[in-house]
Structure 1
Amino acid sequence: MSILTRTDGSHAPSAAAGRRPRPGASTVIAMVFMVLVAGYMLLPVYWLLVSSTKSQGALVTTPGLLPARWHFGDNLAALFDHQDGVYSRWLLNSLLYAGAGSAVATVLAAAAGYALATYAFRGREAVFSVVLGGVLVPATALALPLFLLFAEFDATNTFWSVFLPSVVSPFGVYLSRIFAAASVPEEVVEAARMDGASEFRIFRTIAMRLMSPALVTVFLFQFVVIWNNFLLPLVMLQDERLYPVTLGLFTWQSQTSRLPELQTLTIVGALVSVVPIVLTFLLLQRYWRAGLAAGAVKS
């Protein structure tokens, strides 16, 4: 770096020293690639936004990516009025399945992960290996065995046939164990035991607070998984009043050949169904980031 000498004998950096280095070719290529990937990922969202504002006629006659006359308000009113407001019922069902299921799954995952990280017992690593194996098993492989199991108890086509399988989260147990091992000091647990605190109280008042970033992450992941769950409700449910929004929109889409107006309602319904997920991520994103960072720590 060249240096300029001032009249008082001190040195000052040259103008070239204050310039920012020009980005190299690899940086430009990486930026262009990321912009293209982001555009590719956001293109379906843009299409969904534009299509939900069109009437049924404009949806068929105009190009998909070009806007037409604004009919979003009419489409939204028709969505919630169709079949005596059955879409509202589907939306509430999804909120109940995903909200309550994620909360219970988070508590169970926290308890299991804390136990695996804190207590030393024979077969602990074997249990953890089974949990990791559960992460690798696809949900599609479990749908039929679950149906046969619930059929033995005559529990298919009920709320519980969709809710109970959703409260098990092997990934949540894995993340909870990793985070508990990193964030719950053994000294704090031993001190609480010496003060006479029960194991349940230690878990409820100390461990869960220290593990809260990871638990929010578990809740978010499980919420998205349950909200987007389609195959299990399809296998389990026959009563339309118990449908989640994913299965309800599928039934509408399958009827568009007979009832073309359902195409617009399906598109608007898909847009509305994304809103709860987006709001949940926005409200809990800072905890979610902290949990993801903690999940990268090795035990």
Structure 2
Amino acid sequence: MALDTAPAHAAAPAGPPRPTRPRRGPNARSALSSRVTVNTLLALVAVYTLMPLTWLVVNATKNNADLFGRPGFAFGDFSFFTNLADLFTHQDGLFGRWLANSMLYSVVGSIGSTLLSLLAGYAFDKYSFPGKEKLYGLVLLGILVPHTVISLPMYLMASDIGLVNTYWAVLIPGLVNPFGVYLARVFSEGYVPAETLEAARLDGAGEMRIFRSVALPMLSPAFVTIFLFSFTASWNSFFLPLVMLNDATLYPVGLGLFNWNAILPQEPHYYAFVVTGALVSVLPLAIAFLSLQRYWRSGLTAGAVK
């Protein structure tokens, strides 16, 4: 009978190896420091960006006495709804008329501008015609020209055809959007395959039917992106309405608030109107971005990948 001559300590099974804690090297510490620095800078930028809006929200709760008698970031006696009611009833509801004018200029003008930009960008991308690239370069040149430079020539042309001091004097110039044409061409290159258009032509569809039924649904992210840019530019437009309009009932909200702000030394009770009106005028932009940001972000991401 064989005897087990193996040593006792050799029979004990070896336990699982103890995990070793990874040591942080200089690269990990450098990455952590970079993240902290970047997040700190982003937090400072966010605070700086939101500070004027916070000031508006806080001071819209004050009456005229609180605006001068309390610190800037201290709430008042919560007179916001009183200020709001006074704002919309002052001068027979003139502020509400300004808001309606801004919605007209921004919504109608932006929809028309976006459709024209999509048509132009689609044509520059999918069709070949003499002088296409030169004409496209001329369109892009329009991006470099400030709007204030062409406001006076547009005023003279509008005066010759009798459009000064009408809604059309602001709506028609807003239809031209060279940057929108550029974006539309980029989106058309990435979203609308030429094979799909060729298949639609083989089925007998006309060019306008192809654009309306095939290309336009594919360009929906481009539509939202260009619309938001146009809406923001039109809502914040100031110099063109200042040049074109003389009737206060045609003013957009920005120009109307500017006129109220100009008479503050003579009419101090307008301070609450201006502060509350400025806060109300920001809300449509915030609503538009919050409601359409999903489509806007997807469009910008696709354009970046392209």
Q: Which bin holds the TM-score, normalised by the shorter protein?
A: over 0.9
Match of 1:162 in 2: 170
Match of 2:3 in 1: none
Structure 1 counterpart SS, 2:260? helix
Match of 1:251 in 2: 259
**8 Å Cα contact 1:58/1:68 also seen in 2:** yes
Matched residues, number: 290
Structure 1 counterpart SS, 2:78? coil
Question: Is residue 85 of structure 1 aligned with residue 93 of structure 2?
Answer: yes
**8 Å Cα contact 1:79/1:269 also seen in 2:** yes
CA distance, structure 2, for counterparts of residue 82 and residue 181 of structure 1: 51
Match of 1:40 in 2: 48
CA distance, structure 1, for counterparts of residue 140 and residue 18 of structure 2: 60
Report the CA distance between 1:296 and its aligned residue: 3.0
Deviates most, 220-229 or 136-145: 136-145
Match of 2:68 in 1: 60
Report the CA distance between 1:245 and its aligned residue: 0.3
Deviates most, 7-16 or 258-267: 7-16
Q: Give the aligned residue type for 1:27.
A: R
CA distance, structure 2, for counterparts of residue 108 and residue 27 of structure 1: 44
CA distance, structure 1, for counterparts of residue 139 and residue 236 of structure 2: 22
Gaps in structure 2 of 5+ consecutive residues: 1-12
Q: TM-score, length-normalised on structure 2?
A: 0.90
Match of 1:177 in 2: 185
1:71-220 correspondence runs (5 A) = 71-220=79-228
CA distance, structure 2, for counterparts of residue 93 and residue 12 of structure 1: 73
**8 Å Cα contact 1:104/1:167 also seen in 2:** yes
**8 Å Cα contact 1:75/1:265 also seen in 2:** yes
Report the CA distance between 1:14 and its aligned residue: 4.4
**8 Å Cα contact 1:215/1:291 also seen in 2:** no
CA distance, structure 1, for counterparts of residue 303 and residue 244 of structure 2: 34
Report the CA distance between 1:293 and its aligned residue: 2.1
Gaps in structure 1 of 5+ consecutive residues: 1-6
Q: Give the aligned residue type for 2:250.
A: L
CA distance, structure 2, for counterparts of residue 153 and residue 131 of structure 1: 25
Report the CA distance between 1:101 and its aligned residue: 0.3
Give aligned-pair identity as a percent. Answer: 48
CA distance, structure 1, for counterparts of residue 257 and residue 83 of structure 2: 15
CA distance, structure 1, for counterparts of residue 237 and residue 211 of structure 2: 31
**8 Å Cα contact 1:178/1:297 also seen in 2:** no
Give deviations 1:70-103, integer Å, cap 9, x for gaps: 1111100110010010001000000010000000
CA distance, structure 1, for counterparts of residue 123 and residue 305 of structure 2: 18
Q: TM-score, length-normalised on structure 1?
A: 0.92
**Alignment RMSD (CA, Å):** 1.8
Report the CA distance between 1:204 and its aligned residue: 0.4
- Give the direction of change, closer, same or farther, for the CA distance of 1:220–1:16 in structure 2 (3 Å limit): same
Give deviations 1:212-260, integer Å, cap 9, x for gaps: 1011000000000000001000000001111100011011111111111
**8 Å Cα contact 2:190/2:303 also seen in 1:** no
**8 Å Cα contact 1:214/1:294 also seen in 2:** no
1:274-289 correspondence runs (5 A) = 274-289=282-297
Question: Is residue 272 of structure 1 aligned with residue 280 of structure 2?
Answer: yes
**8 Å Cα contact 1:214/1:290 also seen in 2:** no
Deviates most, 150-159 or 23-32: 23-32
Report the CA distance between 1:13 and its aligned residue: 5.0
Report the CA distance between 1:10 and its aligned residue: 6.5
CA distance, structure 2, for counterparts of residue 297 and residue 80 of structure 1: 46
